Amino acid sequence: MPALNRRMVITGATATGALGLAGCFSTSPNPPLQAAIPSLPSLPQPGSQPSLDPPFETGEAAQPKYADMYAAIEGEPFPVPAIKLAQIDQAFLRKTVSYATREPPGTIVVDPAHHYLYHIEEDGKAMRYGVGVGREGFGWSGEATINSKQEWPDWYPPKEMLERQPELKKKMAELQSGLGMAGGPGNPLGARAMYLWQGKVDTLFRIHGTVEPWTIGKSVSSGCIRMINQDVIDLYGRTPTGTRVVVLGAPSKPAPKVARV
The whole-number pLDDT of residue 43 equals 36
CA quadruple 32, 33, 36, 37: dihedral sign: positive
Global pTM value: 0.76
Nearest by Cα to 227 from 237, 213, 242, 239: 213
If you average pLDDT over every residue of the chain, what do you get?
A: 79
| Predicted confidence (pLDDT) at residue 103 exceeds the cutoff of 50 | yes
Check residues 204 and 139 and name the one with the higher pLDDT.
Answer: 204
The whole-number pLDDT of residue 166 equals 85
How large a percentage of the chain has pLDDT more than 70?
70
The whole-number pLDDT of residue 220 equals 86
| Predicted confidence (pLDDT) at residue 192 exceeds the cutoff of 70 | yes
Give the best-scoring range by mean pLDDT among 13-27, 54-68, 218-232: 218-232
| Predicted confidence (pLDDT) at residue 223 exceeds the cutoff of 90 | no
Least confident residue range of 73-87, 91-105, 219-233: 219-233
Residues 153 and 205: beta-carbon distance below 8 Å: no
Split at pLDDT 50, 70, 90, the class of 84 is very high
CA distances from 178 to 154, 155, 158, 172, 188 (A): 10, 10, 11, 10, 17
| Predicted confidence (pLDDT) at residue 64 exceeds the cutoff of 70 | yes
Check residues 118 and 174 and name the one with the higher pLDDT.
Answer: 118
Q: Please name the fold of domain 15-24+46-247.
A: L,D-transpeptidase catalytic domain-like (2.40.440)
The whole-number pLDDT of residue 54 equals 52
Nearest by Cα to 7 from 248, 243, 202, 254: 248
Q: Stretch 226-238: mean pLDDT, rounded? A: 98
Q: How many angstroms separate the CA atoms of 171 and 181, rounded?
A: 7
CA distances from 76 to 79, 127, 233 (A): 6, 23, 10
| Predicted confidence (pLDDT) at residue 144 exceeds the cutoff of 90 | yes
The whole-number pLDDT of residue 135 equals 78
User: Residues 64, 234, 177, CA angle at the centre, nearest 5°?
Assistant: 155
The whole-number pLDDT of residue 130 equals 98
| Predicted confidence (pLDDT) at residue 63 exceeds the cutoff of 70 | no
Which tens digit of pLDDT belongs to each residue from 111-143?
A: 999 999 999 999 999 999 999 998 765 677 899
User: Residues 81, 62, 230, CA angle at the centre, nearest 5°?
Assistant: 20
The whole-number pLDDT of residue 157 equals 84
Which tens digit of pLDDT belongs to each residue from 16-57?
A: 333 334 566 554 444 433 333 233 333 333 333 433 455 667
Q: Stretch 174-201: mean pLDDT, rounded? A: 94
